[in-house]
Amino acid sequence: MAHKIAVIPGDGIGPEIVAEACKVLDAAAAKFGFELEYTKLLMGGASIDVNGVPLTDETIAQAKASEAVLMGSIGGDANTSSWYKLEPQLRPEAGLLKIRKALNLFANLRPAYLYEELKAACPLRDEIIGEGFDMMIMRELTGGLYFGARETSIENGIRKAVDTLVYNEEEIRRIAVKGFEIARKRRGKVCSVDKANVLDSSRLWRAVVEEVAKDYPDVELSHMLVDNCAMQLVRDPAQFDVILTENMFGDILSDEASMVTGSIGMLSSASLNETKFGLYEPSHGSAPDIAEKGIANPIATILSAAMMLRYSLDLDEAANAIEAAVRQVLKEGYRTGDIMSEGCTRVGTVQMGDLIAARV
Closest to 13 in 3D by CA, of 295, 326, 356, 337 = 295
Interstrand relation of 268-272 and 107-113 (parallel, antiparallel or unpaired): antiparallel
Q: How far is the CB of 250 from Mg ion (least distance, A)?
A: 9
Q: Enumerate residues 6+ apart whose C-beta is below 8 A from 255.
A: 264
Q: Which single residue brings its beta carbon nearest to ligand IPM?
A: 93
Residues 95-134 interacting with ligand IPM (rule: CB under 6 A): 96
Instruction: Verify whether residue 126 is a known catalytic residue.
Output: no
Whole-angstrom distance, CA of residue 138 vs CA of residue 186:
13
Least spacing, CB of residue 68 vs ligand IPM, in Å? 17
First vs last C-alpha separation in the chain: 22
- Dist. CA 346–CA 224, nearest whole Å: 41
33 Rama class: left (phi>0) / alpha (psi -120 to 50) / beta: left
Choice from 20, 140, 251, 338 touching ligand IPM (CB under 6 A): 251
Question: For residue 331, which amino acid is it?
Answer: K
Position with the least CB separation from Mg ion = 251
Residue from 140, 246, 251, 338 touching Mg ion (CB under 5 A): that is 251
Q: Which of 313, 320, 301 is nearest to 272 (CA)?
A: 313
The least CB distance from residue 354 to Mg ion, in Å, is: 30
Active-site position among 115, 146, 280, 311: 146
77 carries an active-site annotation: no
Closer residue to ligand IPM (CB): 239 or 273: 273
The least CB distance from residue 328 to Mg ion, in Å, is: 30
Task: Determine which one of 49, 215, 227, 316 is catalytic.
Answer: 227
Q: Which candidate in 115, 195, 241, 338 is catalytic? A: 195
Question: Residue count at the site for Mg ion (CB under 5 A)?
Answer: 1
Pick between residue 97 and residue 350 the one whose CB is nearest to ligand IPM.
97
Cα gap 72→268, rounded to integer Å: 11
Q: What's the length of the chain? A: 360
Residue closer to ligand IPM (CB basis): 76 or 298: 76
If binding is defined by CB under 6 A, does position 93 make contact with ligand IPM?
Answer: yes
> Is 195 in the active site?
yes
323 binds, among Mg ion, ligand IPM, none (CB under 5 to 8 A by kind): none
- Contacts with ligand IPM: how many residues (CB under 6 A)? 3
280 is catalytic: no
Catalytic residue among 194, 241, 251, 338: 251
**CA separation (Å) from 97 to 55, 118, 337?**
10, 32, 30
| Residue 231, CA atoms < 13 Å, CB-side half-sphere | 5
Radius of gyration (Cα) for the chain, nearest Å? 20
Whole-number minimum distance, CB 156 to Mg ion, in Å? 35
Long-range contacts of 330-336 (CB under 8 A, 24+ apart): 330/115, 330/117, 330/118, 331/117, 336/265, 336/295, 336/296, 336/297, 336/298, 336/299
202 or 283: CB nearest ligand IPM:
283
How many other CB atoms are there within 10 angstroms of residue 274's CB atom?
11
93 versus 181: smaller Cβ distance to ligand IPM: 93
Span of 127-135, 178-186, 201-209, 250-258 interacting with Mg ion by CB under 5 A = 250-258
Known catalytic residue at 251: yes
User: Between 246 and 251, whose beta carbon lies closer to ligand IPM?
Assistant: 251
Active site residues: 146, 195, 227, 251, 255
Residues that bind ligand IPM (CB under 6 A): 93, 96, 251
